[in-house]
Homo-oligomer: A and B are copies of this chain.
Amino acid sequence: MKRCTADILKALRQLMSRHQLNAYLVPSEDAHMSEYVADCDKRRAQLTGFTGSAGTALVTESEALMWTDGRYFLQAEQQMDSNWTLMRALAKDVPTLTEYLANRGFARVGFDPTTLPFGRFIEMRDSLAAGGTELVGLPDNLVDAVWTGRPERPLGRRLFLLTAEEAGAGPAEKLALLRQEMQKCKAGLLILSALDDVAWLFNYRAVGVIPMSPVLFAYAAVTPDSAHLFADLHESALAEFKQHVAETGVQLHAYAKFQSELEKLVAGSSGRVWLDHRASAAVGLPVPKARVYTADSPASVLKAVKYAPERAGMARAHVLDAVALCRYLHWLELQLAAGSPVTELSGSNQLDQLRSEMEGFVEISFETISGSGSNGAIIHYRVTPETDRPIVPDEAYLVDSGGHYRCGTTDVTRTVFYGAAPGAQLKRHYTLVLRGHIALSRLTFPENVLGSRLDTHARAALWTAGLEFQHGTGHGVGVFLNVHEGPCAISGSRANPHEIGLKRGMIVTIEPGFYLAGQYGIRVENVVEVVPQPGIAEGFDGLQFLTFKPLTLVPISTKLVDRSQLADEDVAWLNNYHAEVRQVVGDELKKRGFAETYEWLVRETEPI
């Protein structure tokens, strides 16, 4: 359904005229370049009607243009009314935003500096300067000004304050580590822009601010002798929070005070000002050019290597999560066997319910992908009432889901089949995906190797059959924090300049797949911990050699496996994995009195 955008465009153009702007730029990003965006920050969606995650709008005096990529062409056409022109990014003869602006030769293009990454702003500014076009940063967002009924920015209300024992280190210790990194780089001021970096630093988590991302709207600023947190807490949470951070000496400021305090902090400090890659133009612009130091956030880099209690918490979260997922898969089998209808949506709701029964469960960590048959072939499928379909025994069913628990975050995908006998092609494809999963899981590699250099090991088996999947092989996972966490990953399609090498104690996913449009989707995903390779005390030239240890402990369908296509080593890996699943998760199921699910687990973990 299209929303009429005539009124909001008219109001915006009036404001543009008042500011003498030829155009106004509306990106999708919030001020922290967050993956999930709060409702109050969905300005591009409000303006255009298009609700997809990626897109940039540009409103001129006579035109309204929206750039998005191929994933969203159809959705954008369906959602945008005739006031808008869709700009198909990368399509032939479609200019980029910068090219378009350069061609038009506007004098003044307005934007909100919090919504553009600083690096991108510099690039655009420099390439437009030659043509006389000025990018004009306005402190107040013009879309906000014309947005009737814009939601309030949510306060931190339901807070989780992690002890140093839970988190592995207290905020004072983490501040000291950041200051060490600052000293190495001659930085006199560090600004943390990423919301999960700030939550990590101060050992808090928050629910109800950004869906599925347990963070607050916040910035942190660190100097050699002071620390500042800019965040709005509900008064019910304030006293306890102040006590929580008392030993750090951190000064608490209102979130809205960040911009004015930043200017004071820059003026009052010396040396470089360290900005991370999430910093917006609003953060970078007040810093004198010669003092700007842009590099990976040291908090992101430190956060990627988990402390021992975090690793233990993640392992525990995955056992809890496995209980819920095993109960779901068992329940689903029973329902289908009894002929009781289950749909993708009702199944997904049942899974949410079972997760919510686990102790320490907080919320789901991302929107569940529950896809049966051809819906499973849509990589980023989200079931809606319109697309919902029954889960039936004779189709492959793909379920990708996860939860935030007080002790950790999970992300697991299984592909199952409840019919009598899967087709030969489905078995062949499933076995190729599984071979890739096992090949990467079994790999031994030296410390600090980039994960992007390992990703093809999860693809090589599919490649032998002329098959490929079009998504990354794995991503970092936060500890009761963002389910997609940088800067380590196992993804090679696009080179990521911010990627860092794999180290002992990092936690990532391994999730190869295969998607046959109109028929089925297959994905096998575990969360794994980077651990020393047993048996190699010290490698060549003092290198430590590492491998992956699965944290996810949920049966991998053996019904879909073509045993003859697995090497002996692959079979041994699978049987060992299932033995551990049966042992660890089996104990939990028995302890909790889920005797029938335990019997199901025993069947599902039989050696092949």
Asked if A105 lies at the interface with its beta carbon under 8 angstroms from chain B, I say no
Contact of A290 among B131, B450, B466, B540 (CB under 8 A): B131
Asked if A446 lies at the interface with its beta carbon under 8 angstroms from chain B, I say yes
Asked if A444 lies at the interface with its beta carbon under 8 angstroms from chain B, I say yes
Scan residues 420-479 of chain A and give those whose CB is less than 8 A from a CB of chain B: 443-446, 449-450, 452-457, 460, 463-468, 470
Chain A 142-178, CB within 8 Å of chain B: the 1/0 string? 0000000000000000000000000000000000000
Contact of A444 among B463, B536, B538, B541 (CB under 8 A): B463
By a CB distance below 8 angstroms, the chain B residues around A492 are 450, 453
By a CB distance below 8 angstroms, the chain B residues around A289 are 130
Contact of A446 among B443, B463, B497, B539 (CB under 8 A): B463
- Is B131 touching A468 in the complex (CB atoms < 8 A)? no
Chain A 315-330, CB within 8 Å of chain B: the 1/0 string? 0000000000000000
Which B residue sits closest to A288, measured CB to CB?
Answer: B130
CA distance A555 to B452 in the complex (A): 34
Contact of A543 among B445, B468, B495, B497 (CB under 8 A): B468
Asked if A533 lies at the interface with its beta carbon under 8 angstroms from chain B, I say yes
CA distance A309 to B492 in the complex (A): 34
Which B residue sits closest to A127, measured CB to CB?
Answer: B290
Asked if A118 lies at the interface with its beta carbon under 8 angstroms from chain B, I say no
- Is A541 touching B453 in the complex (CB atoms < 8 A)? no
By a CB distance below 8 angstroms, the chain B residues around A495 are 450, 495, 497
- Is B455 touching A457 in the complex (CB atoms < 8 A)? no
CA distance A218 to B571 in the complex (A): 60
Asked if A217 lies at the interface with its beta carbon under 8 angstroms from chain B, I say no
By a CB distance below 8 angstroms, the chain B residues around A290 are 130-131
Minimum CB–CB distance for A496 against chain B, Å = 9
Asked if A405 lies at the interface with its beta carbon under 8 angstroms from chain B, I say no
Asked if A545 lies at the interface with its beta carbon under 8 angstroms from chain B, I say yes
By a CB distance below 8 angstroms, the chain B residues around A446 are 463, 468
- Is B449 touching A464 in the complex (CB atoms < 8 A)? no
CA distance A468 to B449 in the complex (A): 11
- Is A538 touching B445 in the complex (CB atoms < 8 A)? no
Minimum CB–CB distance for A569 against chain B, Å = 10
Instruction: Pick the most buried of A470, A492, A497: most chain B CB atoms within 10 A of its CB.
Output: A492
* Given known A453-B452, A468-B539, contact A463–B545 (CB-CB < 8 A): yes
By a CB distance below 8 angstroms, the chain B residues around A540 are 466-468
Which B residue sits closest to A496, measured CB to CB?
Answer: B495
By a CB distance below 8 angstroms, the chain B residues around A130 are 288-290
By a CB distance below 8 angstroms, the chain B residues around A450 are 492, 495
Which B residue sits closest to A290, measured CB to CB?
Answer: B130
Contact of A453 among B443, B444, B445, B456 (CB under 8 A): B456
- Is A443 touching B463 in the complex (CB atoms < 8 A)? yes
CA distance A460 to B545 in the complex (A): 11
Which B residue sits closest to A445, measured CB to CB?
Answer: B463
* Given known A443-B460, A450-B492, A495-B497, contact A539–B467 (CB-CB < 8 A): yes
By a CB distance below 8 angstroms, the chain B residues around A538 are 466
Chain A 270-294, CB within 8 Å of chain B: the 1/0 string? 0000000000000000001110000
CA distance A449 to B443 in the complex (A): 21
By a CB distance below 8 angstroms, the chain B residues around A466 are 444, 533, 536, 538-540, 543, 545
CA distance A289 to B129 in the complex (A): 10
- Is B468 touching A541 in the complex (CB atoms < 8 A)? yes
Scan residues 478-502 of chain A and give those whose CB is less than 8 A from a CB of chain B: 492, 495, 497
Instruction: Pick the most buried of A131, A288, A454: most chain B CB atoms within 10 A of its CB.
Output: A454
By a CB distance below 8 angstroms, the chain B residues around A545 are 463, 466
CA distance A229 to B465 in the complex (A): 48
Minimum CB–CB distance for A225 against chain B, Å = 24
Minimum CB–CB distance for A96 against chain B, Å = 13
Which B residue sits closest to A543, measured CB to CB?
Answer: B468
By a CB distance below 8 angstroms, the chain B residues around A468 are 446, 539-541, 543
| 19 A-B residue pairings within 8 Å (CB atoms) | A130-B290, A131-B290, A443-B463, A444-B464, A444-B466, A445-B460, A445-B463, A446-B468, A452-B453, A453-B453, A453-B456, A456-B457, A457-B457, A457-B460, A465-B536, A466-B536, A466-B540, A468-B539, A495-B495
- In addition to A443-B460, A453-B456, 5 A-B residue pairs with Cβ atoms within 8 Å of each other are A453-B455, A456-B457, A465-B536, A466-B538, A468-B539
10 closest Cβ pairs, A-B complex: A130-B290, A466-B539, A466-B536, A453-B492, A467-B540, A444-B463, A466-B545, A453-B456, A444-B464, A468-B540
